Structure 1
Amino acid sequence: MPKVSLNGIELFYDSKGTGEPLLLISGFLCDHTYWSVIMPDLTAQYQIIRIDNRGIGRSSAPDNPYSLQQLAHDAAALLEHLNIHQVHVAGHSMGGQIAQELALLYPQKVKSLILLSSLAKGDERFNQIISTWGELLQRIDTKLYQQVVLPWIFSDNFYSMPDMIEQLIEWAVHYPFSPPVHSIYHHSRAILGANTINRLQNILCPTLILVGKQDILTPMKFSQQLAVGIPKARLSVIDGGGHGFIIESPKIVAKEMLDFLAQLNSKR
């Protein structure tokens, strides 16, 4: 699993599978491993490239303000390094915001977008949550932090599974590549400063917008706003999941993604 020096940092990435390239961008607090559960389905048909955004996982974590446009520039620089001229892009949550910026800054590179549990701009409640999460690890330990965050991520059904949440918390507590406290703060402020509402009409590539019906962090109204604003967007609502539906309903999410990409290929 290699790193590459670009834009003044070391960026970690992982590439698996063959076929058309599909770039996966993770969200707040998450590195490339967030996509692991759907990787077997995706790599069967595509070259899957996953990155650790600056500040996360095994990438560099400079202690200075970040912007989502800066993270999009990092992704574009990686594509240049890999000699990939066009790519399908999927982003979850903050990763979907980065994907929007990538499509706006480098429209010639992005063949299609898949925006999962994402948004153009947060409302006051969302912004308060993200602002608090950005500061909270300065005051409490990782275990308690996860206990605070996870109810916003997963559905009632997921919480009813015996020991599932406890296993996730233990995994997070012992994960060797947890982001530093300063990166969590800088990422939270990047999210708070992000706004594509008045630029959505400039995203001209085919776009699939996926949201869980039980998502209480980035509720359906955010995805509906994206679907209205992006000219070639289609919205699909998944019944059985919350914000973390990639983990809760991996087969359904993978099928939605693959069906969308297959329909694009069939139109050529």
Structure 2
Amino acid sequence: MPLFTLSDGQELYYETRGEGPPLVLVPGLGGVAGFWDKVGPTLAQQFTVILHDHRGCGRSSHVPGRFSVDQMADDLHQLLQFLGIERAAFLGHSTGGAIAQTLAITQPGLVERMVLSATWCGPEAYVTNLFGNRKAVLMAGGLGLYQKTSAFFLRPPGYWHDHGPELDALGANATHDAVEVEILAARLDALIAFDRRSQLGTITQPTLAICARDDMVTPPALSQEIVAGIDGADFIELSYGGHFTPLVVPTAFLDASIPFLRH
């Protein structure tokens, strides 16, 4: 199992797949490389894909403490330095999009171009309250209730028609991603504190934002705000997919992403 030791002694699990220009896939709040399983193999046919589990998630070190998006970005930067990757394209989903924005601002030479999937750029009443309420559910009801509740707004209502049993099982399998309540709560706090809004204008890398019309976590207006703040950025709105478009509509997601990444 490939592990990289960070400067503070914690370890990151990582994978590399495929051949071609480097492409870093950065997962969202769940923080595990497996989030990309439905689109990763296709991307690996054209790119050298780099994946990792965030600290506190999956197969990386699980050490409680304070978390921040800046810390997550620095962890990834350290990993890429270790792998000898000086410049790469980034595809970041939700929290991963916040990490990509941070690296584009703080390590501009590292980011060649980026796709920002279902993300946001700073404090906003809807997102702040949503993350705060998700944390309240987590603390009051534990991981099982948190995951089962989250399933209703991470995927669109129509998805339940064919996948109801799979989603019903989430509460019973609440430990499948091995995330401790204390760590997940601290990660939610990190998202509430994230703010790069005032620095969007410093981003010069080609940027594409993708969001589904029915995303209930980071609605399209938040992606449109990012695009308005980055000179030359583009926006693609998918008609369906909820917050988890790479999982729910992988073909549509790839059709939107790949032409931009190959430009």
Counterpart of 2:35?
A: 34
Paired residue secondary structure (1:218): coil
Q: 1:251 to 1:171 in 2, by over 3 A?
A: farther
Provide TM-score, normalisation by structure 2.
0.94
Given residue 37 of structure 1, which amino acid in structure 2 is its aligned partner? K
Q: Distance in 2 between matches of 1:84 and 1:162?
A: 39
Aligned residues of 1:172 and 1:178 also touching (Cα < 8 A):
no
Given residue 115 of structure 1, which amino acid in structure 2 is its aligned partner? L
Counterpart of 1:111?
A: 112
Given residue 204 of structure 1, which amino acid in structure 2 is its aligned partner? T
CA offsets, 1:190-239, max 9 Å, x none? 11111111100111100110001110110011000001001131100111
Paired residue secondary structure (2:39): helix
Given residue 106 of structure 1, which amino acid in structure 2 is its aligned partner? Q
Percent identical among aligned pairs is 27
Tell me the CA shift for residue 135 of structure 1: 4.0
Tell me the CA shift for residue 64 of structure 1: 1.4
Given residue 247 of structure 2, which amino acid in structure 1 is its aligned partner? I
Given residue 216 of structure 2, which amino acid in structure 1 is its aligned partner? I
Query: How do 1:1-268 residues align onto structure 2 when only pairs under 5 Å count?
Result: 1-8=1-8, 9-163=10-164, 165-166=166-167, 169=170, 172-173=173-174, 175=176, 177-262=177-262, 264=263
Given residue 34 of structure 1, which amino acid in structure 2 is its aligned partner? F
Aligned residues of 2:148 and 2:171 also touching (Cα < 8 A):
no
Q: Distance in 2 between matches of 1:226 and 1:162?
A: 32
Tell me the CA shift for residue 67 of structure 1: 1.1
CA offsets, 1:79-108, max 9 Å, x none? 100001101011111110011001111100
Aligned residues of 2:26 and 2:96 also touching (Cα < 8 A):
yes
Aligned length: 262
Tell me the CA shift for residue 125 of structure 1: 2.5
Tell me the CA shift for residue 252 of structure 1: 1.0
Paired residue secondary structure (1:161): helix
Tell me the CA shift for residue 162 of structure 1: 4.6
Paired residue secondary structure (1:140): helix
Q: Distance in 2 between matches of 1:20 and 1:167?
A: 39
Q: Distance in 2 between matches of 1:130 and 1:141?
A: 15
Q: Distance in 2 between matches of 1:206 and 1:180?
A: 36
Aligned residues of 1:134 and 1:187 also touching (Cα < 8 A):
no
Paired residue secondary structure (1:195): coil
Aligned residues of 2:67 and 2:187 also touching (Cα < 8 A):
yes
Given residue 228 of structure 2, which amino acid in structure 1 is its aligned partner? V
Structure 2 residue ranges without an equivalent (≥5): none
Provide TM-score, normalisation by structure 1.
0.93
- Once the two structures are overlaid, the 10-residue window that deviates more, 153-162 or 225-234, is 153-162
Q: Distance in 2 between matches of 1:183 and 1:173?
A: 14
Structure 1 residue ranges without an equivalent (≥5): none
The two structures, once aligned, show a CA RMSD in angstroms of: 1.6
